A and B are shown apart, each in its own frame.
Chain A
């Protein structure tokens, strides 16, 4: 069985993993980090979005063995202890969620986007979230949250 060695939320992990294990299965079932969700089986919904080497990817569309040597961040690793990341805080303040199922993926996508695009327009935010589906909110509060979260990230430096 292949061995995967990676860093997840700052912690080193070395584990045997079957080649046909998806990265999201590894994160949820082997590592117990269930903040990363699975909302579809067609790679469209984005609930499983995480950062691999600081880039947002869909962890349901990557094999766990392909993450060997990578630095992974999941929703659990965005802020230490019980603190909220500025983007999480913005989702909270703008009520950028209803059922919350898509929220971890939305936040992970938004954080990566805001780092690269600190002064993004509403239209750019809408485009950046094209790979994340929400079936509750109608998106408006999510867009407001991302714009505000990006501002908070910028001010926090």
Chain B
């Protein structure tokens, strides 16, 4: 790992100031991606600004049917939280499926979505649930947040503070995972709200995306059979040593069908 200055601020303001003063500052959240990237010398920040000491960025609160999750809340804490379990069990399930127990004990919501790995799980929940990403300077709608491969709407030095997730009538997340990394080869998050269904797919493309054809079918009839005959084009989908674009295209409908079936069984209307 290259050398860097380590900073451990206790507040959001101190973290922002440290980033502003640095030549090339890097916010360190759970570190489950970025520490690996740094040790492989694929990143060379001048200053690593550790967010783990900022208590204000941790924790889960509930107001009406909206769950607010602090950006530095770990996957393990989201998976185990009773309010998340009650209001959005699919989000709890998703957090419990990320990586492995060690990763879930360190990895955070904010770190995951800021990194926007094409195979990460959280982006699917953020988009399908129509979440709102709060930063130190503004609120960003889920639909505007994830812009491209490893790219987001975040500006240099902008820090995610929390994400608000509205509770759906029904929701479910299903993924076909890579057995070595547990990243999604394809993951589908389906959320049904009073005003309609949103379907977000991760792992398959350069960035999380919605599938209007599947949403339309489920808006007409919220059951797996409604997806009969729907095929997804493999154009612009990822192809790598784990799976071809054609395989991913087919797995999107498989994951979506499983998710709809599971959401229907939940009957949490």
Q: Which residues of A contact B (CB under 8 A)?
A: 2, 18-20, 22, 41-44, 46, 49, 55-58, 60-63, 65-66, 68, 109, 112-113, 128, 130-133
- Closest-by-CB residue of A relative to B32 is A61
Nearest residue (CB) in B for A2 is B6
Measured CB to CB, the residues of B under 8 A from A are 1-6, 8, 31-32, 35-36, 38-40, 48, 50, 52, 76, 99-103, 105-106, 180-182
Q: Which residues of A contact B5 (CB under 8 A)?
A: 19
Contact between chains at A43 and B36 (CB < 8 Å): yes
Question: What residue of chain B has the Cβ atom nearest to residue A53's Cβ?
Answer: B105
Extra contacts, 17 of them, besides A63-B50, A65-B50 (Cβ < 8 A), are A20-B2, A22-B1, A22-B35, A22-B39, A43-B103, A46-B102, A55-B105, A56-B105, A57-B105, A57-B106, A58-B103, A61-B36, A63-B31, A65-B6, A113-B101, A130-B100, A133-B180
Say whether A109 contacts B2, CB under 8 Å.
no
* Complexed CA–CA distance, A137 and B8 (Å): 42
* Chain B residues, CB < 8 A from A22: 1, 35, 39
Contact present for B35 and A63 (CB under 8 Å): yes
Neighbouring A residues of B1 by C-beta, 8 Å: 20, 22
Contacting pair A46 B100 (CB below 8 A): yes
Rounded to whole angstroms, the CA-CA distance of A62 and B105 in the bound complex is 12
A-B pairs, 10 with minimum CB distance: A131-B100, A19-B6, A20-B1, A130-B100, A58-B102, A55-B105, A43-B36, A61-B35, A131-B102, A57-B102
**Taking the nearest CB of chain A, how far is it from the CB of B179, in angstroms?**
9
B2 touches A130 (CB 8 A): no
Check B4–A42 contact: CB distance below 8 A.
Answer: no
In the complex, A2 Cα to B38 Cα: how many Å? 19
Q: Which of B31, B50, B102 contacts A56 (CB 8 A)?
A: B102
Shortest C-beta distance, B239 to chain A (Å), equals 21
Bound-state CA distance A64–B23 (Å) is 23
A150-B14 Cα distance, complex, nearest whole Å: 45
**Given that A19-B5, A41-B39, A62-B35 are known contacts, is A128 also in contact with B106, CB under 8 Å in the complex?**
no
Q: How far is the CA of A46 from the CA of B100 in the complex (A)?
A: 10
Known A-B contacts A46-B102, A63-B31; A19 and B48 likewise in contact (beta carbons under 8 Å): yes
User: Looking across the interface, which residue of chain B has its beta carbon closest to that of A108?
Assistant: B102
CA distance A46 to B3 in the complex (A): 25
CB < 8 Å neighbour of A42 from B36, B76, B105: B36
A127 to chain B, nearest CB (A): 9
In the complex, A22 Cα to B182 Cα: how many Å?
A: 23
Shortest Cβ gap from B37 to chain A (Å): 10
Return chain A residues, CB-CB under 8 Å to B4.
Answer: 19-20
Interface pair B40/A41, CB less than 8 Å apart: yes
Please state if B106 and A61 are interface contacts (CB–CB under 8 Å). yes
**Measured between C-beta atoms, what is the minimum distance from A18 to chain B in Å?**
7
Task: State the CA gap A22–B6 with chains docked (Å).
Answer: 13
Residue in contact with B180 in the complex, picked from A18, A44, A128, CB distance below 8 Å: A44
B93 vs chain A, min Cβ distance (A): 13
